[in-house]
Amino acid sequence: MTLHKILKYLALVIGVIGMIFLGRIIATGDDAIKASADLQGSHLDPYMWIAYLVLAAVILLVGIFVIVGLFRGNIKNTIIAIGSFLVVVVVAYVLSDGTARELKDGSMLSASGDHWVGAGLITFYILAGIAIAAMVFSGIKKLAK
């Protein structure tokens, strides 16, 4: 049996279990779920554990295939890409400012936390701009040919 078939059956089993838990949540109703939200034995717990399990499996498989791909492919290009990303993050961190802020729930966000949130937003904007510029450049290049 190939890995593809095994993963297909595993995905089917996890999907069926997820559908059973979803049906259980829907049958319980909103009021009962809201009432038991603070309790440990909530109806949402099994559904959340399935989600955690799937997330862990995906992260593990992605990590394995990335490491295998690194050794099969050109590691120089990978290091250049990671270095470029780190340069973008450093530039975004330098451009952001950090001030302590009060959140809506009354708790305080530290200056460092605000600095990292700002850096994350600026990183997103820089990478989105690069992606848009690459698509525009590719379109212009195709039109020129």
80 shares a domain with 50: no
pTM of model > 0.75: no
Q: Please compute the mean of the pLDDT values over residues 6-11 and round it to a whole number.
A: 84
- Chain mean pLDDT for the chain: 84
Q: Please compute the mean of the pLDDT values over residues 36-49 and round it to a whole number.
A: 66
pLDDT at 40: 53
Domain ends where: 12, 41, 73? 73
Domain ends where: 73, 101, 129? 73
Domain ends where: 73, 96, 124? 73
Q: Please compute the mean of the pLDDT values over residues 96-120 and round it to a whole number.
A: 88
pLDDT at 126: 96
Does 38 have pLDDT greater than 60?
no
99 shares a domain with 133: yes
pLDDT at 18: 80
pLDDT at 39: 56
pLDDT at 54: 84
Is the distance from CB of 119 to CB of 96 less than 8 angstroms? yes
CA distance 124 to 33: 36
Q: Please compute the mean of the pLDDT values over residues 88-96 and round it to a whole number.
A: 95
Token code pair at residue 119? 């850096």
Report how many domains make up the chain. 2
Alpha helices in the chain (DSSP H): 3-28, 30-35, 45-72, 75-95, 111-144
Angle at which helix 45-72 crosses helix 3-28, to 10 degrees, equals: 160
Of the candidate ranges 43-47, 98-102, 137-141, the one whose mean pLDDT is the lowest:
43-47
